[in-house]
Amino acid sequence: MQDIMETIQQLTNIPSPTGYTTEIIDFLDENLKQKGYQPERNHKGSLMVTVQGKEDGRRRFVTAHIDTLGAMVRAIKPDGRLKIDLIGGFTYHSIDGEYCTVHSAGTGKEWTGTILLHQTSVHVYKDARTADRNQDNMEIRLDAEVRTAEDVRGLGINVGDFISFAPRTELTPSGYIKSRHLDDKASAAILVQHLHRIVDEKLTLPYTTCFFFSNNEEIGYGGNSNMPERTVEYLAVDMGAMGDDQQTDEYTVSICVKDGSGPYHFGLRQQLVGLCEAQQIPYKLDIYPFYGSDASAAMKAGWDVRHALIGPGIDASHAYERTHRKSLDACSKLLEAYLSAPMIGE
């Protein structure tokens, strides 16, 4: 578990809003090459590692995504503040007051700043408490001496530059990890550490398995364009969302039975439940009404596979998130159990 927690810290501290993921893919590529793997990249910039199993016919496909929520520079305001355009499905309320970094495409330089409501000061604006958090009212205050739009352009900042949010990753003595972007870097870390274990413990999987780190999940593309034709099962390892009417918590693995795309494969779901019960892995079944995964994107793309979704329980998804090492441990154990088990019907 310590390795997983440390890997989450490493991953969350690498900026990777959707569309700006080269650095984190480079990191994973080098990390896995050091273990003897030969990762492959597709044209979209995702990364795949194929692990040969006892059977090389039917295959399993396991994904986690490393792209995160973020933003782009929408406009440069006359006073030198920046308007922003969101990348991914989150609310402006969730980033009010957050530190950020603007990544200049023109110069390669980075500029820090703070995302604020324009009417933040209660001493100046009578609607400071009631103004809507939206694109018109939210802006970035750069940590640079700028007073005009031309001053900002002089820094090399322009429309279309990517904006990443400060992760503020923290591990607590009580076993929690709180950070932005646990969706889905927590699960990506679980996949990385399982790939390490396969090498370190000389494990042999029953089926050739493709581990895929996708980089377009937050905008709905999913990870499916490079799926081998012989793939039979697709497991997305993402997050379990917590809230009213949800069973998911921070201490168990969540098994999704249905999301916004519809039900997941019943037989595969039942196999996952059976593995949890047989190996005493704490789990919760849940429905995520406003959710989509890499696996559900594959179904929409027309793939003929059995699909499932599991993940650690994440509180305050798409905001400043939190989970516990117990949930990460349960998810890791279920992934290990699934990858070692026979396919349905065998």
321 to 182, 207, 239, 278: CA distances (angstroms)? 6, 34, 11, 30
- Alpha carbons 336 and 148: distance in angstroms, whole number: 55
Q: Is 308 helix (H, G, I), strand (E, B) or coil?
A: strand
Distance of CA 145 to the CA centre of its chain: 34
Tokens coding 14 = 């690498």
Phi, psi angle pair for 325, to nearest 5°: -60, -25
Binding residue per annotation — 26? no
Q: What region does 215 belong to: left with phi over 0, alpha with psi -120 to 50, or beta?
A: alpha
- Alpha carbons 99 and 320: distance in angstroms, whole number: 12
Burial state string for 228-260 with b = 16 or more CB within 10 A and e = fewer than 16 = eeebbbbbbbbbbbbeeebebbbbbbbbbbbbe
Phi, psi angle pair for 248, to nearest 5°: -55, 140
Q: Which of 217, 233, 321, 336 is catalytic?
A: 217
- Alpha carbons 174 and 301: distance in angstroms, whole number: 42
Binding residue per annotation — 265? no
Phi, psi angle pair for 172, to nearest 5°: -100, 155
The letter for the amino acid at 283 is: Y
217 is catalytic: yes
- Alpha carbons 48 and 28: distance in angstroms, whole number: 10
Active-site annotation, residues: 217
- Residues within the annotated binding site? 65, 183, 218, 238, 318
- Residues within the annotated binding site for Zn(2+)? 65, 183, 218, 238, 318
